[in-house]
Chains A and B, each alone.
Chain A
Amino acid sequence: MDNPVVDAMTRFRLNAEPVGVNPDVGERLSDSLRERLGRRDVKVGCNAGDCGACTVLIDGEPVCACLTPTQQAEGRQVETLAGLAGTDADALRLAGCFLDHGAAQCGICTPGMIVSAVALLRRVSRPDAQQVEDALGGVLCRCTGYRKIIDAVVAAGETRAAAAENMAVDDGHAGAAIRRLDGAGKVDGSEAFGDDVAPADALVLRIIRSPYPRARFTLGDLAGWVADTPGVEAVLTYADVPGENRFGVIPAFADQPVFAEVETRFRGEAVAAVIGTSAAMRRFDPESFPVTWQELPAMQSVAEAQAPDAVQLHEGREGNRMCGGLVRCGDAATALAEADVTVEGRFRTGFVEHAYIEPEAGFAEIRDGRIEVHACTQAPVMDLDALEIILGMSRNDIRIVPTGVGGGFGSKLDLSVQPYLALAALKTGRPVRLTYSRTESMQSTTKRHPAEITLKIGADKDGRIKGFDFRGVFNTGAYASWGPTVANRVPVHASGPYRITDYRAESAGIHTHCPPAGAFRGFGVPQSAIAQESLFDELADRLGMDRLEFRILNALKNGVPTVCGQVFEQGVGIGACLEALRPAWHAERAAARAHNAGDPKFRRGVGIAAGWYGCGNTSLPNPSTIKAGIRPDGSVVLHQGAMDIGQGANTVVPQIFATALGVPVHLLTLIGADTDVTPDAGKTSASRQTYVSGNAARLAGEVLRGDILKRVNAGDEARIEFAGEDIRVIDGNVAHELDLAGLPVDAEGYVLRAEETYDPPARALDENGQGVPYAQFGYAAHLAVVEVDIALGTVKPLKFVAAHDVGKAINPMLVEGQVQGGIAQGLGMALMEEYLPGRTENLHDYLIPTIGDMPPVETLIIEEPDAHGPYGAKGLGEHVLIPTAPALLNAIKDATGIRLTEVPATPARLRAAIKEAAHAQ
């Protein structure tokens, strides 16, 4: 090459075609592929090589496109999922196997997974699980728990020679383990997530954030700076907020500004936003923004925030106490005093980051005088509610169009990009896009609450619980977010699924200068379960009872009141879950004893733990509405407003609707949660969608079916068939025809329609927390086998057995997916995850489990039907990780004799405890 400077044009083969691009110097290949070549199937999760979502093949080898200068692709062959999915035999087989195994949940990691797997299959035609793990170890997944991905890739190798497999096509009704209905776009790279939908000419927004947890700040001459900075169109500050500069998911606690006004309350809080052309914003250095900071002393811990001289973060919240919760029944103090045996402990957990692989992203534009926000979200109507207040606009002028959601787990219930996008579109009149960097996502969005828990539990000599006194203090960070929900849920759930007649549980949320703690799968219950289930083991040991039998003895049963005084006459499945673990409990304990016989350096242990979780809002209304219609051409349209964030609502809700209507699920046309056309199915939270939206879908299906049958005078058992513009109703030997073309068409184009709402029958709690907090609970029990490296303190989980009472598994494959994915998050919380503001703001310092960290999971589905659930179904999404961490901690204790009371159980922490115990002896 004579000229050492690459021609401005970089040419390479992209999949099958020659392409040329004109990138910036050193532009990331991921950016060139996405923004210049339209390959938005290449996902960006971290821009640092930590997540592997952007994996592409260069000359057949997997690399992170985010670490590759586009110019290095010169003359090479670049392959992405979208290209492979159309033509490559390995990719096609992988796509089918991913769908058949439920290996794609949210789908954001799927391109990286399948592309990496294609490279493997080209090298090794029939890989085993270990080879799959080694090949996919560079791609993080936060939803699946990886095991189904391993299964899918192994199966893709095994089916190489076999004819293309066709899943038996059935009607897909409740109980059928069908493929996800929205799966195709996840395995061919066409699903559009938050960063995939902006028009090419959109302006780009960057947020200016506080580098300090607490700082006063002064903005410089913004107008002058905008005028002097080419390509920058505008700056936003609190002064640009036309409505209230305040939001919050719980109206009574709304306390968070869109932009801080005088002083910031956590590191990463927004103070301004810069809007410019995409070219200008690629060159933009946030350090150049005119703002001066004065760092102020900050409080990072609950203890500091409760000190007598502590600065108060919010008016009206003395002592930085946001709120608290209390559940009390019987007389805990007296019972504990009279108990034959008591145990007590103090437990501590840290911040946990959701770490979905899709950072928050979206775009907004003005269309026909209305503001439209397209972004990833778990709660489109709540986003609309909040923007109505922030923008000071009529809600009729706001439209929320959810994009695909690359994982949520609770954090995408809160606003993130939405207000900035809306304000920017209003200010500039042009489409504006915003994608959080991984660091921004980690700094500024909500976390799991750190907890400090003290707990004392007593029992009589026969092993019945006698007295339970729980106190939990939660670091709720700078703003309330879902902190009040955590404060309310924890006392209701801290008992675990057990009969406890003398009970007191108190919680408090305390503000600090930390990121807001909010909703994260379980709302504080995973933290309280660590304390309760750990001490249950201690109590059983003190009593000399088998740890499993002790739990079975105390397990709730039908007709037995909960600590809230709620009596379920049916549907209490914890006993069945625990009993389902009995065979594994005995077998695994015997195996561990045999393994440990020679006092090896790697000791094994077996742990169990249980959990329960109330589905839906605590004692508050939380209705879902589902609408369906039939068009004159015979298509059946389901307005499915329950956000699918990977868990499967786009499949489960239609399965329920199809069951009720009596048609095959594949007949349905789905319309998503666009607030202009689909009614509010509530937030994807509180494990409520299968139960609550599922019930609304069942009602809508039943009403529509009733309408059809009535029109032809058919009986309830008649069969409905769609044939073009006719509906045939076969009632015994009689076939009726309903001519749709002859029916009047409504404004939405429907000739028949139904719109039904379901709201769980919960009731308020009194001052002692007595009442009916939930219409149903789901139940779970996990068994974990671990191997501990005594000298280094590392813990290797070897196996899980997970029993879950889901009432009715609407889709057993998706149930397993939830269980495995939840266990992976529980494993992360137990063994490696702790978010430290300012220190672990990326995915190489903040560690989540990789594909090599998740052992096999045996899922035992228990179906103890619930009278309120659709076809008996109960919620599941949050139950899945509640028992995991305590089961692991109990397994570590079983292996080592060490009771850890703080998570994560890092090697350093466990090794220190092992040494301390050795010294004490």
Chain B
Amino acid sequence: MSYFVPTELGEAIGLMAVRDVNIVAGGTDFYPSRVSGPLPDDILDVTRISGLTGITRVGDGIRIGAATRWSDIVHADLPAAFAGLQAAGREVGSLQIQNAGTIAGNICNASPAADGVPPLLTLGAKVELAGPDGTRQMPLASFIKGPRQTALRAAELVTALHLPLPPSHARGAFEKLGSRKYLVISITMTAVVIGCDASGRIDFARVAVGACSPVALRLTALEDDLLGQIPDAIVVEPHHLAELAPISDVRADAAFRMEAVGEQIRRAVCKAADANG
């Protein structure tokens, strides 16, 4: 029984190859799923691996280390297109959770209601993975395969997220609907990145919705239709939401989610567009 705290990535991958370790970063999903039974025998703590934390400019994008905490993202000086990601970070649980929970933890937990995923989708996030066979990258949309399912291979670790910079005039926004103010799991959530041209018409649009499908989705048909529209006058049609498949659960029924998300999209687009002005 060991608690491993490697400082080098190679050590971590080496350990994962030979031992059945459970990965811990912020612990904010690890512990809540283990409230009654015993804790696992071997734990690999990734928070002290060099290079796994921090936000850096790399080429024409931003690299966020896997073990970067939400509060670090919230407080980082990032372009306006990242405002939705930062707003989502402020909605992750509570300050306590944001001070521990990490961005890669959020995507590896693969909850359909993960607050971080829709804004990351709107930013075209790519997931950087390292394993025994080296590193690889894949789009976030391919990485999360279903509820609690990811494309992680054996002995593979998420090391970073790469976010290409959207056009400089684009602004992000995030809308979350829950039954209370803090510490709430979303009923639905929407992230957008919107750019408007000089005449106020949308010329860049990314829209992603969470908690309305097994994996949060970008609504590309809607994005296409938003181009050229005035933000205040956009219309969200049922076919734009055709890919969504919300469930009914204790938080809300499916019909409500479908309806609410349309309203959320309109609000998020306006909020991002207002920030443009």
Binding site for B on A (CB under 8 A): 1, 4-6, 24-28, 46-50, 52, 55, 58, 61-64, 66-69, 71-72, 74, 116, 133-135, 137-140, 282-287, 437-439, 791-794, 831-832, 834, 836, 839-840, 842, 844-845, 847, 849-853, 904, 906-908, 911-912, 915
Q: B96 contacts the other chain (Cβ, under 8 Å)?
A: yes
**Inter-chain contact A64/B100, CB cutoff 8 Å:** yes
Closest residue of chain B to A64 (Cβ to Cβ) is B96
**Inter-chain contact A49/B93, CB cutoff 8 Å:** yes
Out of B71, B185, B263, name the residue touching A61 (CB < 8 Å).
Answer: B71
A109 to chain B, nearest CB (A): 13
**Inter-chain contact B41/A63, CB cutoff 8 Å:** no
In the complex, A851 Cα to B180 Cα: how many Å? 10
Q: Which residues of B contact A66 (CB under 8 A)?
A: 31
In the complex, A67 Cα to B101 Cα: how many Å? 9
Which of B22, B40, B179 has its CB near the most chain A CB atoms (within 10 A)? B179
B79 to chain A, nearest CB (A): 24
Interfacial residues of chain B within 256-277, with CB under 8 A of chain A in the complex: 256, 259-260, 263-264
Q: B35 contacts the other chain (Cβ, under 8 Å)?
A: yes
**Inter-chain contact B99/A61, CB cutoff 8 Å:** yes
In the complex, A138 Cα to B90 Cα: how many Å? 12
Known contacts A4-B6, A4-B7, A286-B37: A138-B45 contact under CB 8 Å? no
Q: Which residues of B contact A4 (CB under 8 A)?
A: 4-7, 11-12, 15
Closest residue of chain A to B94 (Cβ to Cβ) is A138
A668 to chain B, nearest CB (A): 39
**Could you give, for residues 111-122 of chain B, a 1 whenever the CB lies within 8 Å of some chain A CB and a 0 otherwise?**
000000000000
Q: Which residues of A contact B42 (CB under 8 A)?
A: 25
Task: Supply 8 further A-B pairs (C-beta < 8 A) apart from A52-B94, A134-B95.
Answer: A1-B5, A5-B4, A26-B43, A138-B97, A283-B38, A832-B179, A911-B256, A911-B259
In the complex, A282 Cα to B62 Cα: how many Å? 43
Out of B15, B45, B93, B256, name the residue touching A912 (CB < 8 Å).
Answer: B256
In the complex, 28 of the A-B residue pairs with CB atoms within 8 angstroms, ordered by the A residue number, are A4-B15, A5-B2, A6-B5, A25-B39, A25-B43, A26-B24, A26-B39, A48-B32, A50-B32, A52-B183, A63-B99, A67-B26, A67-B96, A68-B27, A69-B45, A133-B181, A137-B183, A138-B96, A138-B97, A286-B36, A286-B37, A792-B263, A832-B179, A850-B183, A851-B181, A852-B182, A906-B252, A911-B259
Closest residue of chain A to B11 (Cβ to Cβ) is A4
Q: Which residues of A contact B250 (CB under 8 A)?
A: 834, 836, 839-840, 845
**Inter-chain contact B7/A47, CB cutoff 8 Å:** no
Q: B227 contacts the other chain (Cβ, under 8 Å)?
A: no
Q: Which residues of A contact B94 (CB under 8 A)?
A: 49, 52, 137-139
In the complex, A851 Cα to B97 Cα: how many Å? 16
Closest 10 CB pairs of A and B: A138-B94, A852-B181, A137-B182, A908-B256, A48-B32, A908-B252, A4-B6, A850-B182, A138-B96, A67-B27
In the complex, A569 Cα to B28 Cα: how many Å? 60
B97 to chain A, nearest CB (A): 6
Q: Which residues of B contact A287 (CB under 8 A)?
A: 37
Which of A67, A140, A439, A792 has its CB near the most chain B CB atoms (within 10 A)? A67
**Inter-chain contact A853/B38, CB cutoff 8 Å:** no
**Inter-chain contact B179/A49, CB cutoff 8 Å:** no
Q: Which residues of B contact A912 (CB under 8 A)?
A: 253, 255-256
How many residues from B make CB contacts under 8 Å with A? 57
Closest residue of chain B to A51 (Cβ to Cβ) is B183
Known contacts A1-B5, A66-B31, A906-B252: A55-B96 contact under CB 8 Å? yes
**Inter-chain contact A63/B96, CB cutoff 8 Å:** yes
Known contacts A4-B5, A68-B100: A138-B184 contact under CB 8 Å? no
**Inter-chain contact A831/B179, CB cutoff 8 Å:** yes
Q: Which residues of B contact A52 (CB under 8 A)?
A: 94, 96, 183
Closest residue of chain A to B187 (Cβ to Cβ) is A907
**Inter-chain contact A24/B256, CB cutoff 8 Å:** no
Q: Which residues of A contact B97 (CB under 8 A)?
A: 49, 64, 67, 138
Q: B106 contacts the other chain (Cβ, under 8 Å)?
A: no
A798 to chain B, nearest CB (A): 13
**Inter-chain contact A439/B95, CB cutoff 8 Å:** no
**Inter-chain contact B253/A851, CB cutoff 8 Å:** no
Known contacts A4-B11, A49-B28, A851-B182: A25-B2 contact under CB 8 Å? yes
Q: B47 contacts the other chain (Cβ, under 8 Å)?
A: yes
**Inter-chain contact B182/A908, CB cutoff 8 Å:** no
Known contacts A61-B71, A134-B95, A437-B35: A67-B100 contact under CB 8 Å? yes
**Could you give, for residues 213-248 of chain B, a 1 whenever the CB lies within 8 Å of some chain A CB and a 0 otherwise?**
000000000000000000000000000000000000
Closest residue of chain A to B32 (Cβ to Cβ) is A48
**Inter-chain contact B180/A24, CB cutoff 8 Å:** no
Q: Which residues of A contact B253 (CB under 8 A)?
A: 908, 912
Out of A47, A284, A791, name the residue touching B263 (CB < 8 Å).
Answer: A791
Interfacial residues of chain B within 13-61, with CB under 8 A of chain A in the complex: 15, 22, 24, 26-28, 30-32, 35-43, 45, 47-48
In the complex, A907 Cα to B12 Cα: how many Å? 45
Out of B28, B38, B252, name the residue touching A282 (CB < 8 Å).
Answer: B38
Known contacts A845-B250, A850-B180, A907-B260: A25-B36 contact under CB 8 Å? no
Known contacts A4-B11, A26-B43, A69-B45: A138-B182 contact under CB 8 Å? yes
In the complex, A191 Cα to B149 Cα: how many Å? 45
**Inter-chain contact A850/B31, CB cutoff 8 Å:** no
Q: Which residues of B contact A834 (CB under 8 A)?
A: 250
Q: Which residues of B contact A1 (CB under 8 A)?
A: 5-7, 48
Closest residue of chain B to A60 (Cβ to Cβ) is B99
Out of B3, B32, B93, B185, name the residue touching A25 (CB < 8 Å).
Answer: B3
Closest residue of chain A to B179 (Cβ to Cβ) is A832
A21 to chain B, nearest CB (A): 12
Known contacts A66-B31, A287-B37, A908-B252: A853-B181 contact under CB 8 Å? yes
Q: Which residues of A contact B39 (CB under 8 A)?
A: 24-27
Q: Which residues of B contact A72 (CB under 8 A)?
A: 27, 45, 47
**Inter-chain contact A853/B93, CB cutoff 8 Å:** no
**Inter-chain contact A847/B180, CB cutoff 8 Å:** yes
**Inter-chain contact B100/A63, CB cutoff 8 Å:** yes
In the complex, A488 Cα to B1 Cα: how many Å? 58
Known contacts A791-B263, A853-B180, A907-B187: A438-B35 contact under CB 8 Å? yes
**Inter-chain contact B181/A47, CB cutoff 8 Å:** no
Closest residue of chain B to A440 (Cβ to Cβ) is B36
Q: Which residues of A contact B255 (CB under 8 A)?
A: 912
**Inter-chain contact A116/B95, CB cutoff 8 Å:** yes
In the complex, A839 Cα to B27 Cα: how many Å? 23
Q: B155 contacts the other chain (Cβ, under 8 Å)?
A: no
Closest residue of chain A to B24 (Cβ to Cβ) is A69
Q: B177 contacts the other chain (Cβ, under 8 Å)?
A: yes
**Inter-chain contact B40/A26, CB cutoff 8 Å:** yes
Q: Which residues of A contact B183 (CB under 8 A)?
A: 50, 52, 137-138, 140, 844, 850
Closest residue of chain B to A61 (Cβ to Cβ) is B99
In the complex, A197 Cα to B253 Cα: how many Å? 45
In the complex, A840 Cα to B179 Cα: how many Å? 14
**Inter-chain contact B31/A48, CB cutoff 8 Å:** yes
In the complex, A286 Cα to B3 Cα: how many Å? 24
Closest residue of chain B to A27 (Cβ to Cβ) is B39
B20 to chain A, nearest CB (A): 13
Closest residue of chain A to B38 (Cβ to Cβ) is A283
Closest residue of chain A to B263 (Cβ to Cβ) is A791
**Inter-chain contact B95/A907, CB cutoff 8 Å:** no
Q: Which residues of A contact B40 (CB under 8 A)?
A: 25-26
**Inter-chain contact A62/B260, CB cutoff 8 Å:** no
In the complex, A872 Cα to B256 Cα: how many Å? 51
Out of A49, A832, A851, A853, name the residue touching B32 (CB < 8 Å).
Answer: A49
In the complex, A28 Cα to B100 Cα: how many Å? 13
Interfacial residues of chain B within 120-135, with CB under 8 A of chain A in the complex: none
In the complex, A59 Cα to B170 Cα: how many Å? 36
Closest residue of chain B to A120 (Cβ to Cβ) is B95
A706 to chain B, nearest CB (A): 54
**Inter-chain contact A847/B184, CB cutoff 8 Å:** yes
